Structure formats: C-alpha cells, structure tokens
Amino acid sequence: MASLAAGNVIQLDLMAAALTLAGPLAVLQLFDELAKRDLLEKMLSRKLVHILAGLVFMLPWPLFSMSPYAKYMAAFGVAANGLRMIGLGLGLLKNDALVKAISREGDKRELLKGPLYYAISITVATVCFWRNSPVGAVAVANLCAGDGFADIVGRNYGTEKLPYNHSKSYIGSLAFFAAASLASMGCTLYFASFGYFEATWRTYLTTIAVSLCAAIVESLPLPIDDNLTVTFIAIAVGMLLLPY
C-alpha cells in the first residue's frame, strides 16, 4: 500500500510539473503567433511573455504534493529552459523561431543575458523559498509584473526621465511599483488561501514595501541586468521583512 501511495504521489507531481512547463510555453506560443500575424507589436509581445510566463508558472504549485522533492520538480522546467538559452546562445542548439521570438534584435547571443537571467532568477526563487514562504512568490511577481510593466509604460509614456538615469522614467518606475505591488499581494493571497502560510494585513503592507525597494533598484543605472537585480533585491528585502 505504501508503494502504491508513493507511486500516486509521483504521478501527481509529474502531472503538476508538466503543467508548470506547459503553461509558460503556451504563453510564449500564443504571443509569438499574435506577433507573427501583426496583431501585436513584437516588443509588446516579448514583454507580455515576460509578465505572464513566470506568473503562470506558479499557478500549478498547489497541485504538487508535500514531498521535499516537489519544489525541484517544479523548478526543473525553468532550469531546463535556462540550459536551453545557454545552448541556443552559444550556437550548440538551433531554433531560429524561438531566438527571434524572445530576443530584441534576433541575435542568439541575447539569450545569454536577459532570458537566461530570467530563468535563473525564477529557479532560485522556486528552490529556495517554494510555496511555503511569500518571499519567492513576491520576488517572481516583482520580476514579472514590475519589470514588465515598467518597460511597457515607460517606453510608451515615459517622456519625463529620471535625473539620475535618463534611460528610465518617472512613469515607468511608478508603473513598476503599482504592478509589482498588486501582483505581489495577489500571489501572497493565492498561496495563503491554500494554507501554506498565514497572511495578515501586515504581510500585504510588507509586500508593498518590498516592491518599493525593487522599483528603486530597477530605476538605478546599474551595470547588472534588471532580471537579476530586481529579483534578488526583492528576495533580500523579503527575507528581512517577510516570514520564510
């Protein structure tokens, strides 16, 4: 009976892992097709993938068992995608359609930067914090919603630039803070509703503080990619202020 129960747990986790992999791929495929059909501008398509892929990735987490290896199965798809970015960026693998869909200029070497850092950041957040702490989910929310909306809004409406960083705008930073705060509170509410941790009004206010810190860091003219700085400042501040 024990072996049968263990087998059922493994099957459940494999099914959940398949969903964590299929969801982001479906998002990428959808917006790539919309861009190909000129129904969506390519840059906007890329940023919508940036926003939705990580958030969709977290949705099946409650389907996993309580097994200690479940988080590694969840992270496997993202980690494997990071390895694929390395293979494509170095020319070891070939997929011109994918390179074109997720790079700015169609250069495969771009995949060794932003897309790879995106995969690394989400993998670290998943393995280190999983669903038992709001820290990981809030970090992913800041990376996806905050950074994504900052670029979309800033690129289209950011006429007033920041005095210390002329590549970023006031409205872009405000969009980051607003989107990251809402997504962070939403992710916290989502996982708290399954009983993985307790969320009080102080918890939600703290997620807003984390998003404020991440928005400030994202606005700085740092030589490190935003996909790394945003995620890891959110993790650092979250570890100080949130339960984990």
pLDDT digit string, tens, across residues 6-19: 567 888 899 999 99
Q: What are phi and psi of 169, to 5 degrees?
A: -125, 165
Tokens of 199: 């969320």
Q: Show the beta-strand stretches assigned E in 138-198.
A: 161-162, 165-169
- Which residues share a beta bridge with 161? 169
- Which residue's entry shows tokens 């038992």? 132
What gap in Å lies between CA 63 and CA 66, rounded to an integer? 10
Q: How many helices (H) and strands (E) does the chain have?
A: 10, 2
Neighbour count for residue 91 (Cβ, 10 Å): 9
Note the pLDDT of residue 2.
Answer: 42
What gap in Å lies between CA 131 and CA 126, rounded to an integer? 8
Q: Shortest CA distance to 232 belongs to which of 84, 83, 117, 94?
A: 117
- C-alpha distances (whole Å) from 196 to each of 61, 134, 156, 199 are 11, 9, 39, 10
Intra-chain end-to-end CA distance of the chain, in Å:
34
Note the pLDDT of residue 5.
Answer: 53
Question: Which residues, given as ranges, of the chain have pLDDT below 50?
Answer: 1-4
Note the pLDDT of residue 1.
Answer: 40
- Which residues share a beta bridge with 165? 162
Note the pLDDT of residue 146.
Answer: 97
- pTM of the shown model: 0.93
What gap in Å lies between CA 160 and CA 176, rounded to an integer? 15
